């Protein structure tokens, strides 16, 4: 017993391990210095919510940061491109027009907001802030966020198809595609739900309002 106690008292930490810990701490401090953690933006919950579709959320995030190559931006860079919106051919293409003001785009997202009986703001920045808490029902809130992301993603994809491939689809086809994607996505989300009293699954909400 005395020998064991002696070994315990005389134990010294491995100097190599201790040095590695110091190096890790220094590396972390250097990284944080070069890449400081910024404040959480007020639209965070509208983009990076639980249950999002990753590729849709990514395009919504790029759009939120005004980094999609809309025609007004390309013209501001000195590129010579026709300014008209490819979806309606009546107004110049800007972020605000392409995703909110364009009649084609409006037909897509109004399909979902009207069935949820909500009325989002008509300006882009206001709409994103509204999307953080669009209603009191948690299921409907998630579905509205999913439909917003899917609408942005699908409208942008349609715009690019018209620009690069000269292929076009009507708004009703985009709506059907979005409905199919969201319905399939809600199935595993519903299976993972743990419901409380008087709560229903995502799919029950979906079929009750949107399908």
How do residues 27-78 score in pLDDT, each as one tens digit?
A: 777 766 776 666 678 889 999 999 999 999 999 999 999 999 999 999 999 9
Helix residue ranges, H only, the chain = 2-9, 15-34, 44-47, 54-64, 71-76, 95-96, 103-115, 124-132, 138-164, 171-192, 202-209
> Which of these, 190, 209, 187, lies nearest to 199 by C-alpha position?
190
**Helices 54-64 and 138-164: angle between axes, nearest 10 degrees:** 80
Instruction: State the pTM of this model.
Output: 0.82
Give tens-digit pLDDT for 133-159.
999 999 999 999 999 999 999 999 999
Predicted pLDDT at 79:
97
Domain-by-domain residue ranges, the chain? 2-34, 44-209
Q: Which pair of structure tokens corresponds to residue 136?
A: 């009191």
- Cα separation values, 87 from 83, 94, 159, 161, 181, Å: 12, 12, 7, 11, 22
- Cα separation values, 184 from 67, 89, 100, Å: 29, 33, 26
Report the share of the chain in percent with pLDDT over 90.
Answer: 76
Predicted pLDDT at 6:
47
CA 197/CA 120 separation, integer angstroms: 29
Q: 166 in the Ramachandran plot: left (φ > 0), alpha (ψ -120 to 50) or beta?
A: left
Nearest-10 Cα torsion for 76, 80, 82, 86 = -70
CA 208/CA 26 separation, integer angstroms: 55
Which is more confidently placed, 17 or 45? Answer: 45
CA 201/CA 205 separation, integer angstroms: 7
What is the rounded average pLDDT of the residues 101-107?
97
CA 121/CA 15 separation, integer angstroms: 61
> Which of these, 124, 131, 61, 126, lies nearest to 98 by C-alpha position?
124
In angstroms and rounded to an integer, the radius of gyration of the C-alpha atoms of the chain is 25
């Amino acid at each position: 017993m005395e020998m064991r106690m002696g070994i315990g008292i005389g134990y010294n930490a491995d100097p190599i391990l201790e040095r590695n810990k110091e190096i890790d701490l220094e590396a972390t401090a250097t990284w944080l210095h070069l890449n400081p953690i910024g404040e959480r933006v007020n639209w965070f919950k509208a983009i990076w919510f639980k249950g999002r579709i990753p590729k849709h959320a990514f395009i919504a995030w790029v759009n939120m940061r005004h980094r999609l190559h809309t025609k007004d931006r390309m013209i501001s860079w000195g590129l010579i491109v026709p300014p008209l919106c490819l979806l309606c051919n009546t107004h110049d293409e800007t972020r605000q027009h392409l995703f909110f003001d364009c009649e084609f785009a409006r037909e897509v997202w109004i399909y979902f907001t009207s069935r949820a009986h909500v009325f989002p703001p008509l300006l882009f920045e206001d709409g994103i802030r509204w999307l953080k808490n669009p209603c009191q029902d948690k299921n409907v809130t998630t579905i509205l966020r999913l439909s917003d992301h899917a609408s942005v993603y699908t409208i942008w994809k349609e715009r690019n198809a018209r620009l690069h491939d000269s292929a076009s689809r009507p708004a009703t086809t985009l709506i059907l595609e979005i409905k199919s994607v969201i319905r399939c996505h809600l199935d595993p989300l519903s299976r993972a739900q743990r419901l409380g009293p008087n709560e229903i699954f995502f799919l029950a909400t979906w079929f009750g309002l949107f399908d």
